[in-house]
Amino acid sequence: MVRGDGRMKEGFRQSMAWLHTWCGLTCGWLLCAIFLTGTLSVFRDPITRWMQAAPALPSASTHAALPEQALVPRALAQLRQLAPQARLWRITLPAHPGEALTLFWRTPDGQGQASLDPGSGEVLPSPWGRQTEGGRHFMSFHYTLHGGIPGYWLVGWVSMCGLIALVSGVIVHKRIFLDFFTFRPGKGQRSWLDAHNATAVLTLPFLLMIVYTGLAYFYTSYMPAPLQYMAAMRTRTRGMPMICRRRRLLQVPTPLR
C-alpha cells in the first residue's frame, strides 16, 4: 500500500513537472513582455509628455497664461463650437508653463482633438506636441497585445498558464526552500537549476500576487456567467412578495376554492 502511494505521488509529481515545464516555456516569454509593459504603463502620462515634447508656445514669453477660472469657460465654448454633438468632452490643462491646453471629444463617427493657447485662449492651427501614442502604447500592449478582443483573451489565457506554472513549480520542488541555499557552480545544467530555484523563491510572492490579482481584477470579463445569472435572478424575482423575513417563515393563507 505504501509502495502504491509512493508511485502515485511520483506519478503526480512527474505530471506537475511536465505541466510546469510546458506552461513556462510557452507562456513565460510573453509574460515577461506583459510584466515589463505593465510596469511602464504605471508611468504612461510622464512617458507621453516626454514623447510629445515640443517648443514652448510663443505666448509663454509675452504674457502669462490665463487663470483656470477664465481658461475653462473658453475651452468649453470652443468645444461647443467644434463638437456640439459629441458624446464625450475632455479638457486637459497644461501641466507645465509653455504647454498647450488640450481638447478632446468623441462622437458616434469617431474622435478629434484640438489645442488652445493658454495665454490667449485661441485655437492653435495644429495640435500641440508630437502626435504619438506615448505611454498608451505600453498600456495597450499590456492589456491586449495590440490585438483587440482576441489579444485581451490571449493575455487572460497566458496569465492563467503562468499561475499554473507557479503552483506546479512549488509542487514539483518539494525541497524548494531548502534548495534555495544550495548553489553548485560549474556543474552545467545543475548550476542553472540551482539558479532557477533561487530566483524562483525570491520572486515567488511577487509573481503570485501580480498574476493572481491581474486575473481577479478582470474575472467578470473572463467569466461573466455568474454575474449574468445573478442579474437574471434579480429580474425574475423583482416585484415578487417576500415570504421570508428575518429568518422567520410567514404563513401565507391558501386561496378559497
Higher pLDDT, 2 or 159: 159
Query: Could you tell me the pTM of the whole model?
Result: 0.63
pLDDT of residue 7: 65
* pLDDT tier, 247 (very low <50, low <70, confident <90, very high otherwise): very low
* pLDDT tier, 150 (very low <50, low <70, confident <90, very high otherwise): very high
List 106's β-bridge partners, or say none: 88, 111
pLDDT of residue 241: 58
Give domain limits for the chain: 14-42+139-221, 54-129
Grid cell listed for 93: 490643462
CA distance 220 to 25: 28
What is the domain class of 54-129 according to CATH?
alpha beta
pLDDT of residue 189: 74
